[in-house]
Structure 1
């Protein structure tokens, strides 16, 4: 047993040494690489969820009593069972409590550990969308093409925004206006490929960038040209409004002339929507 323990210790030390040697010789660290890939996948999944939620909630803007969303959440057995499965994945059965726990987990959780809850939430939202469509008579859901918004993280931010015109969406998973604007940004990215890139940053997982750009409300949109800020907005905007703002900001407008609305965006909270 003693010999086995010693052998295991040497193996552990050898593993640490090889990792250190990789770092010294400039070879990629597989753990760091996996973290970057995980953050990219997480950003993509959250963007897909935002697009799905926008499709559900945009026609109503709320789920007040009597609205189709409320009727499905509280009266459709299939939706309710899917909602329960999602809630159990985060340890909460009641919807509001499950949402709060989910948002809190998304802020700091390991991506790989978060994916089961994310997939179950998407399963629930897909059922909710079908129920709402049945109640409102809007017909079957149409297939959505792949997204055109780029996923930004701390690791790729500078490289992705250092050249050309880039609109960065500083968003977060508990911000309702952020979700509603996701399809507008998708259209902007799709319709203006080649002249403008649109990037999404899940803000509260990348605090360094939030501090760097002094973000205090969500959504915040910052227009960058060759890495320098040109202008910013901090509220929900439709596609035509975004396009008008971008075109107006380009003729030499500086970040000191940033555009803010009277309503503003949503200030950070403790993880509630």
Structure 2
């Protein structure tokens, strides 16, 4: 698992100037200015200009990205051209279904920019391995749960039962190719407990963070994807135990009543990096 802090990835409509300005001060790890679903067709051009200006101006506390419109829409290529000129460092691409889309977008990006591919169609699930190994600027995979649920025809479930195979598959693909894995959104803005439970489920499956649709969801997501005090204490105990002279040359030792191996030492070290 990578050490990047992407616990909270907040979408904000690029057509809303107040929301864009507010993003500068929010405690999310990543702010994504949205040019796609959150923006009506007649507002696409203005939203694009706002996003490009925000990228050029900088000054954001969170890492800043922009979700473009798909390349199969009238706006996708114009989005990429404007954001390339602005020097965007992170692009989110919706409904990626093939590695060719990754290659096409990579060709438009500034040097060093990153691409996150949204997986939100049945076809993308079937080609996920090919997408993940596409290379180029690809740096992360994001699960688009709303579009995917619609396309699959799945019903509501408090524990996301219909999605469990795809949660695991996306994380496996991301880990295989050293990509970030970002869980999908939780639609019920006022249900803090529900968000916390779903974020905890996402972390259990191995996701690095969660997509969000409202600033009120930032704190629960940050908490869910941050190591707890108990986890930090156990990690320190594992590291200390393996550093002891009596552990020299041993592959497995006992720590706090549990058998731990060298792989647990690596996990403990990585956890402390994530804890900061």
TM range (shorter): under 0.3
Please identify which structure carries the higher helix content: 1
Using structure 2 for the length normalisation, give the TM-score.
Answer: 0.27
Using structure 1 for the length normalisation, give the TM-score.
Answer: 0.27
Please identify which structure carries the higher strand content: 2
Higher normalized contact order (CA 8 Å, seq sep 6+, divided by chain length): 1
Which of 1 and 2 has greater Rg? 1
